[in-house]
Chains A and B, each alone.
Chain A
Amino acid sequence: GAVVSQHPSWVICKSGTSVKIECRSLDFQATTMFWYRQFPKQSLMLMATSNEGSKATYEQGVEKDKFLINHASLTLSTLTVTSAHPEDSSFYICSASGTRSTDTQYFGPGTRLTVL
């Protein structure tokens, strides 16, 4: 159990375009989903926390207009990188936890975004 999927696993896009990444909890209901960014050889950096049916909470320094997060159902959250630029190239990872804030986070396989 506790499987989280992400799609796509990798994407290459041109500068100025928008990219949408999906995160799904396959076998449990995820009240909360988290979006992280990871640079090579570094730890995970939390970008935002999304709760089903409400607006996402962004970490300090993360542009909410650039990284749009939608958590429309208990099994799906999406991250849209708007007007992507080369500096947005990174590994994006989502995680999902259950109905309690103390539940364990289970991670998706990540999406590697390359912006040309």
Chain B
Amino acid sequence: AQKVTQAQTEISVVEKEDVTLDCVYETRDTTYYLFWYKQPPSGELVFLIRRNSFDEQNEISGRYSWNFQKSTSSFNFTITASQVVDSAVYFCALSRANQGGKLIFGQGTELSVKP
């Protein structure tokens, strides 16, 4: 079965702290895709990153970085020097090849960054 687990329901940090959001996935497929989306209070899901299963390179984009490790089936997301504007719910998601692009979402992690 395919599954995405975000064990952290809520995280609260103080501005400028680094924070890591965990994502563990389950799949027996060899080809799959992993995503992170941000949902601010306005409600719109914002695409952050996509990773293919055959590309384990970590990625950095400004204050955001992602650590993809197939050995532990994890795709963790780190925000460096967090800011109040980072406050949102973050979703990790998995899609399988040949499944029409359906996304399997994790439960989401609500990040609160306090000034």
Of the listed residues A44, A51, A108, the one surrounded by the most CB atoms of chain B closer than 10 A to its CB is A44
Q: Is A32 a contact of B44 with CB atoms below 8 Å?
A: no
The answer to whether B61 has its CB under 8 Å from any CB of chain A is no
Main secondary structure of the interface of B (DSSP, over half): loop
**A2-B47, A104-B35, A109-B44 given; A32·B108 CB < 8 A:** no
Which of B45, B46, B98, B108 is in CB contact (< 8 Å) with A93?
B45
Residue-wise, chain A 98-112 has the 8 Å CB interface mask toward B (1 for contact) of 000111111111101
CA distance A109 to B39 in the complex (A): 10
Write the chain B residue with the least CB distance to A111.
B43
Report the minimum CB–CB distance from B61 to chain A (whole Å).
15
> Count of chain B residues with Cβ under 8 Å from any Cβ of A?
23
Known: A32-B100, A109-B44. 16 other contacts (CB 8 A): A34-B102, A42-B107, A43-B105, A44-B45, A44-B105, A49-B102, A57-B100, A91-B43, A95-B45, A103-B101, A105-B35, A105-B101, A105-B103, A107-B47, A108-B44, A109-B43
